[in-house]
Chains A and B, each alone.
Chain A
Amino acid sequence: MATLKVSNLTKNFGNTQVLKQINLEVSDGEFIVLLGPSGCGKSTLLNMIAGLESVDEGEILIDEYEVNRVEPKDRNIAMVFQSYALYPAMTVRDNVIFGLKQRKVSKEQIEKSLKHFSQMLQIDQLLDRKPAQLSGGQRQRVAMGRALVREPQIFLFDEPLSNLDAKLRVEMRHEINKLHEQLGTTMIYVTHDQVEAMSLATRIAVMNEGIIQQIGTPQEIYEKPNSVFVADFIGSPAINLIQGTFSKDGTATNFIPEQQKDDVKISLSGYSFDSEPEDGQEIIFGFRPEHINLPDASLKSQLPVELKPSMIELTGYEKEVSFEFYGNEITGRLPRHIDTELGKPISLSLDLSEISIFDKESNQRI
């Protein structure tokens, strides 16, 4: 049980700055996911929290205590790695209790912990095997067991599920979720998989180019992305982004798509701006694929549109359909039972209550 605070953390590898003034506060029992594309610095940040990388500037506090120069073993953390990082020459049992032995924990206590956690992770049948004799999923369990027996204050996960196949990944994800509920320990989890991030996190920190772009609950991140990067990175299929200008006529605010033939205006009266743009300012209009759908009378503000499918992909549960929309290709998620045919127009509606508007110059939400 612990809190973690990272303030103004900076890290350089040679001339490249991989982390730029990172600030992050994690309260006790939280599950924070660091999400971002590869090379965004998320793993470096995790390694620094673990004490495996030195700190160039800034500080890391665990329970308000500065640990910049504390050895990894003394930070009372445990870490699970993508490659499992099991010790090949040791049996599962020795792998799991290696850390306890280093800490000179009594034999009885070791046996007790080993029994408890190996049953919990269902690896009690595998204790005498070597890592090479285990499947990927079993190895991952052992790696988790090794972290669990230490009963650390903070768990760190470095893309732990990336090497597993799709089905197993979902299973292990559920188990990690359960684990967090059972133990209530603070967890920090690095991944580039947004589904993992969405389903596990109490809060997500989206990172790019060494900066935390946005931090918030999964719902906030999804519904109110604060930049074009976050909007585009989260969600599959990706959010639809259309460039155009903002126009103000009296009290009526409108979005005018860049490429259009006939004076089209999309009313923005339902959108609450953080700071209202000026008339004629270039903006980006974003809406998620699920917000283009069959007309629904119950929606507060919607825009009726007539669209021709240019590509139809059945994903199982639903259809992802591409349309041409004022010079842009947009994607909509439609129920699978709707009749769609290439080139045959359908009447749909765009839900205007769920849109996001960004400034074109700064790429920030406005």
Chain B
Amino acid sequence: MQTLDFQKMEKIERSASRKRTFYRWLLFITLGIFALYYLAPLYVMIITSLKSMEEIRQGNLMTLPGEIIFDSWKTAWSGRDGIDAGNVFLRPFFWNSIKMVVPAVAISTFFGALNGYALTKWRFRGDNLVFLLFLFGCFIPYQAILLPMARTLGLLGISNSISGLVLVHTVYGLSFTTLFFRNYYISIPDEMIKAARIDGAGFFKIFFKVLLPISAPIIVVTVIWQFTGIWNDFLFGSSFSFGEAAPIQVALNNMVLTSTSVKEYNVDMAAAFIAGIPTLLVYVLAGKYFIRGLTAGSVKG
């Protein structure tokens, strides 16, 4: 039997702990650099929106504002007093977007859940083919459906309207929401559904009473996904709506690009920030569940 060489062991331990500290620092420094890199544009946006035009013209992009002014935020949101013609401001379009995003998210999430439930718990002949077709929908590029969709909306008489955009986003979103819910429900034991069937519950009763109450994580994921996608969408908004019916992203574009005289960078930045607030809020409030929901189902609880 060989006795342990304590001095040697101590030396090994010390060097291991030094190594650990070094790598820990390396990790945090790398992460810090990346965080700064990604946050820099946000920083510039915020400080620019709080500066006056004179200060912006001095060209110090990164310096903090000498005096904090909220005027540009007010202008971006509700326009400038006394000027009417050609004055685009975000308030009405913000509500347009809300009116579009709430029903579109709600409907696509609900039907996604229903589809996922039917595809996993009420198997039928060819159900995998149906699912495959849904999956296929995820890979169709937006641009490919612009013309046929414009025609369809025209036939339905809802072109250039909020309801038209709700329909487009619902139909397009169903592929994704179905995929999410299907993958979540497949991890839920079938025995639970069997028990409910024997207990006398039907298709919808089982869905509402048994399955939906335990779907919170995946509902959060789907809502965030859909909300961000629909709120930030520009292509459908600009293709299928104009003027008064446009969503906020289209209005933001009009506002920034149609300025007649000088570019008001502070107002533009404030407007861009306002347009981004709802998605930011959704992430901050539900982000925790987003990660949890994404990983749910991969490991059996």
Contact = CB atoms under 8 A, between A and B. Distances in A.
Q: Do A and B come from one complex?
A: yes
A85 B201 contact: no
A342 interface: no
Nearest to B206: A87
A79 B200 CA distance: 12
A89 B210 CA distance: 7
Interface stretch (A95-103, A263-271, A293-301): A95-103
B214 to A, nearest CB: 5
A14 to B, nearest CB: 11
Interface stretch (A70-78, A108-116, A184-192, A208-216): A70-78
B213 A89 contact: yes
A99 B213 CA distance: 18
B80 interface: no
Interface residues on A, range: 20 to 34
Contact of B214 (A79, A85, A88, A146): A88
A332 B247 CA distance: 84
Interface residues on B, range: 10 to 19
Contact of A77 (B198, B209, B214): B198
B199 A85 contact: no
Given A79-B195, A81-B195, A146-B199, A87 B189 contact: no
A253 to B, nearest CB: 53
A136 to B, nearest CB: 14
B263 interface: no
Given A87-B210, A88-B214, A89-B214, A73 B191 contact: no
A50 interface: yes
Contacts of A353: none
Contacts of B205: 102
A52 B194 contact: yes
Contacts of A103: 200
Contact of A98 (B189, B194, B199): B199
B213 to A, nearest CB: 3
6 contacts: A50-B194, A51-B198, A72-B197, A77-B198, A83-B191, A87-B195
Interface of A: 47, 50-52, 71-73, 77-79, 81-83, 85-90, 98-99, 102-103, 146, 150, 158
Given A77-B198, A86-B192, A87-B209, 20 more contacts: A50-B194, A52-B194, A52-B197, A72-B194, A72-B198, A73-B197, A73-B201, A79-B198, A81-B195, A82-B191, A83-B192, A85-B191, A85-B194, A87-B192, A87-B196, A90-B209, A90-B213, A99-B198, A102-B199, A102-B201
